Amino acid sequence: MKKLAVIMFCLSVILSAKSFAAGISDLEDLSLSANAYWNGSDLEGSYSATDSFVSGAASLNNFYAYDAGFMFSSWGGFAYSNSTDTVTTGLAGQYNAIAGSGQGGSENYAVGYCNLFAEGQPAITFSTAQVVSGAFFSNTNYAYYSMLNGDAFAKKFGGDSGDETDWLLLTITGKDADGNTAGTVDFYLADFRFADNADDYIVDDWAEVDLSSLETVKTLEFSMTSSDSSAWGMNTPAYFAMDTLNVTGDFENLSLVAESFWNGSALDGSYTATDQFTSGMASYNNYYAYDKDWDFHSWSGFAYTNSQDTTATGLDGQYMAIAGGGAKGSANYAIGYCNAYAPAQPEVTFDEIQTVLGAYFTNTNYAYYSMLNGDGFAKKFEAGDWFKLTITGKDASGAETGSIDFLLADGVEIIDIWTWVDLSSLGEIKTIAFSLTSSDSDPVYGMNTPAYFAIDSINDPEQENENPDQDDNNDPLGCFIGVSGMGMQF
């Protein structure tokens, strides 16, 4: 079992902008009046209810019990809130994030309550199994002030001297579609175990926690433990706040045998097919045509592959990234082919409108060796030649929000590694469309350069600059602009 102890995460806290990564769930699609919450209650009579609420592609469980005769209510699992109050203490502060708003200044956030007497513990179920790259967590007012000052049920963390080694731990467990545990991640919402008391902290802002080590999961389950516990369980209030679950479209959820690809083909008869495949919360279009009588086939849009071959040339290299595998050493990646004769060009469509952080791009073997050496259709590149990928964002109505140009080749400088391209300037988008142009083109028949590119890891929260020659702008061989949080110690 994989286990990652996240000790403060250097507390990588984002203090301003909402996370750029694609949100599986940011709770902003839930309606509340000002400074309100939903906890599963409608107070209509005596009942015990199992419920859930949905944000994006995530379903968050909720358990609520109410007895009208005794005027007693209890809940567990998840609630959601938009409270901005950071001063209320005790039980009245259970629905308040101590950060004072949602992550990045947004309105809504979720509150998890690990009520041992509820029918279940907090859990999130996704519509499809996927790699969750991370989420943001903070304390609630109730837990924060209890640890800071102590209360009638729980101790002040650190004790009067500050020397007592207290802690509050949130454990996040990933489970696959069969319910098997994929791994766990630990995050300390408070930690007073340091030799120097000045290093002790209670989280009071949103902290991003990396969950990618859990790999492909269908469900996340949450539990809490504390140094301040008794035979009845935790004395520390068992609450946490959560916002902005993120996902990376890295194609690792797609199954392939070694050194193979999928291009939409079934090869079982004459047909023209429009298809798609999904990774993370993004769908990639595909068009495939095959005529069995003529044994002729053609495709466009996107394919996916796991080839590591960097030597195959010509058409044999169309499904191969010249980088030799996926970005950051991963197995799978996608190939985009701008086939001018297909019904449409490569497009990525997201489940929700969002700001896209970026993606990795490189050349395919086919395009790379054609530009490097020339071939029967295209010239060898020289000074003044170029091969350009244009990435266009579109909103939900199909209107363009902007475009970004990335040079896959500039003269004799030809991209041969995975290169991060910042796409955040496209703004809030529903779709990304891709097109290719080249200096080596025919006025009638179009491009001579093979119209292919490789793409991986859309919205990777931990971009790596794999090209030492890159700088921090969208220059021809650059395009790495990272987004990072500010480090804060409490």
Looking at residue 462, its pLDDT comes to: 62
Q: Which of the four pLDDT bands, split at 50, 70 and 90, describes residue 293?
A: confident
- Residues 53, 114, single domain; the answer is yes
Reported as a single tens digit per residue, the pLDDT across 163-197 is 999 999 999 999 999 999 999 999 999 999 999 99
Q: Are residues 149 and 228 in the same domain?
A: yes
Nearest by Cα to 387 from 453, 463, 473, 328: 453
Q: Among 247, 274, 295, where does a domain finish? A: 247
The answer to whether the Cα torsion of 320, 321, 324, 325 is positive or negative is negative
Residue 109 in domain: yes
Domain shared by 294 and 172, yes or no: no
- For residue 219, what is the domain's CATH number? 2.60.120.1350
Q: What is the pLDDT of residue 22?
A: 44
Of all residues in the chain, what percent carry a pLDDT higher than 70? 87
pLDDT confidence bin for 267, thresholds 50/70/90? low
Question: Is the same domain home to 343 and 391?
Answer: yes
Predicted pLDDT of residue 333: 96
Q: What is the pLDDT of residues 66-112, one digit of tens each?
A: 887 877 889 999 999 999 999 999 999 999 999 999 988 889 999 99
Residue 153 confidence (pLDDT)? 95
CA torsion 317-323-327-330 (nearest 10°) is 70
Distance, CA of 181 to CA of 220 (rounded, Å): 10
DSSP code per residue over 115-157: -TTSSS--EEEEEEEEEEEEEEEE-BHHHHHHHHH--SSSPPT
Is pLDDT at 452 greater than 90 in this prediction?
yes
| Same domain, residue pair 312 and 370 | yes
- Tens of pLDDT, residue by residue over 410-451, are 999 999 999 999 999 999 899 999 999 999 999 988 999 999
Average pLDDT rounded to a whole number, residues 265-284: 80
Looking at the fold, whether 177 and 277 belong to one and the same domain comes out as no
pLDDT in tens, 201-229: 999 999 999 998 998 899 999 999 999 99
Q: Is residue 253 in a domain? A: no
**Does residue 396 lie in a domain region?**
yes
Give me the mean pLDDT over the 23-48 stretch. 78
Name the pLDDT band for 464 (thresholds 50, 70, 90): low
Question: How buried is residue 150: exposed, middle or buried, by Cβ count under 10 Å (0-12/13-18/19+)?
Answer: middle
- pLDDT, tens digit (0-9, with 9 covering 90-100), for 311-362: 999 999 999 999 999 998 989 999 999 998 888 899 999 887 888 889 999 9
Q: For the chain, what is the mean pLDDT?
A: 86
Q: If you average pLDDT over residues 285-302, what whole number do you get? A: 88
* Number of domains observed in the structure of the chain: 2
Do 171 and 308 lie in one domain? The reply is: no
Least confident of 255-259, 289-293, 346-350: 289-293
Contact criterion met (CB below 8 Å) for 346 and 434: yes
Are residues 291 and 225 part of one domain?
Answer: no
Q: What is the pLDDT of residue 25?
A: 65
Handedness of CA 284, 360, 307, 258 (dihedral sign): negative
| Dihedral sign from CA coordinates of 36, 42, 43, 46 | negative
User: pLDDT band at 15, cuts 50/70/90?
Assistant: very low
Residues 183 and 314 in one domain: no
Question: Range of 152's domain?
Answer: 2-247
User: At a CB cut-off of 8 Å and minimum separation 6, what does 350 contact?
Assistant: 22, 281, 282, 283, 356, 429, 430, 431
Both 241 and 312 in a single domain?
no
pLDDT digits (tens, 9 = 90+) for 299-309: 999 999 999 99
Same domain? 238 vs 276: no
Share of the chain above pLDDT 90, in %: 62
Q: What is the pLDDT of residues 360-375, one digit of tens each?
A: 999 999 999 999 999 9
Helix (H, G, I), strand (E, B) or coil at 91: helix
Residue 459 has pLDDT above 70, yes or no: yes
**Over 50: is that where the pLDDT of 148 sits?**
yes
Query: Is the pLDDT reported for residue 474 higher than 90?
Result: no
Is the pLDDT higher at 137 or at 354? Answer: 137
Q: What is the pTM of this model?
A: 0.68
Domain boundary among 247, 271, 306: 247
- Asked if the structure places residue 143 within a domain, the reply is yes
Final residue before a domain boundary, out of 199, 214, 247? 247
Helices and strands: H and E segment counts in the chain: 2, 33
Residues 207 and 291 in one domain: no
393 vs 245, more confident:
393
Tell me, yes or no, whether 252 lies in a domain.
Answer: no
Report if residue 70 sits inside a domain: yes
Give dist(CA 280, CA 368) in Å, integer: 28
